[in-house]
């Protein structure tokens, strides 16, 4: 196991034309959590699903936080770069194109950080209930990468102003951001699945 190694699950593609997905779970989840979601939103995609390497009261996460909604930003940067290295190794090992990240909550936040810190690692991202990961992000050039940001109107964890700021931050960095606010809380709804599936099929058609 190298320093960048993550415990992970890999499901090979059933359809070579479908984009690979990098599945990033929320706090307390693991490498099995989002496999079902990945299969629902992009049947046939290769699925790469790592487990976060930080433990908070025994619950896996992708980076440390100081309190709810208050991130250890040095750790965010370090862990995002580790994740980027893992994705590069996994792409070589499994013969994958750059994946689309599908992240929920803590997983969405590390995906947003990865977009800003290592723009070349991801082909795009679906960010479910994401927050701004870095208060002073680097100048990233996202060159039209597609990003779907789905927020919950009644989310007790992510203020509407924060998700709007993240959408603006990614747009300013050159991403093509589609930001939708759903009548939902922090948990995922059927609308998240439907919108993600439609968005991936359109993003995939554009890539082809």
Residues marked active site are found at 105, 155, 186
Helices (H) and strands (E) in the chain, counts: 5, 11
d(C-alpha 198, C-alpha 128), whole Å: 15
User: Is the Cα torsion angle 184, 51, 57, 70 positive or negative in sign?
Assistant: negative
d(C-alpha 194, C-alpha 82), whole Å: 31
Tell me how crowded residue 53 is: count the other CB atoms within 10 A of its CB: 17
Chain centroid offset of residue 206 CA: 20
HSE of 74 in the Cβ direction (CA atoms, 13 Å)?
Answer: 1
**Residues 179, 128 contacting (CB under 8 angstroms):** no
| Among the listed residues 163, 160, 167, the one whose alpha carbon sits nearest the alpha carbon of residue 142 | 167
d(C-alpha 51, C-alpha 32), whole Å: 8
């Amino acid at each position: 196991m190298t320093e960048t190694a993550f415990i992970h699950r890999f499901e090979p593609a059933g359809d070579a034309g479908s984009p690979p997905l990098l599945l990033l779970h929320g706090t307390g989840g693991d490498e099995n959590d989002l496999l079902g979601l990945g299969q629902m939103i992009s049947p046939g995609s290769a699925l790469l699903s790592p487990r976060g390497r930080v433990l908070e009261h025994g619950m896996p996460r992708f980076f440390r936080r100081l309190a709810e909604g208050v991130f250890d930003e040095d750790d965010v940067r370090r862990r995002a770069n580790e994740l980027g290295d893992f994705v590069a190794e996994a792409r070589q090992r499994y013969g994958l194109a750059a994946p689309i990240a599908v992240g929920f909550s803590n997983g969405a936040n590390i995906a947003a950080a990865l977009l800003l810190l290592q723009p070349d690692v991801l082909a795009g991202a679906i960010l479910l209930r994401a927050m701004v990961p870095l208060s002073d992000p680097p100048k990233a050039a996202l060159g039209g990468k597609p990003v779907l940001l789905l927020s919950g109107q009644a989310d007790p964890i992510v203020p509407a102003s924060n998700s709007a700021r993240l959408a603006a931050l990614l747009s300013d960095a050159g991403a093509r951001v589609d930001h939708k606010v759903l009548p939902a809380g922090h948990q995922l709804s059927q609308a998240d699945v439907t919108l993600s599936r439609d968005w991936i099929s359109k993003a995939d058609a554009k890539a082809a």
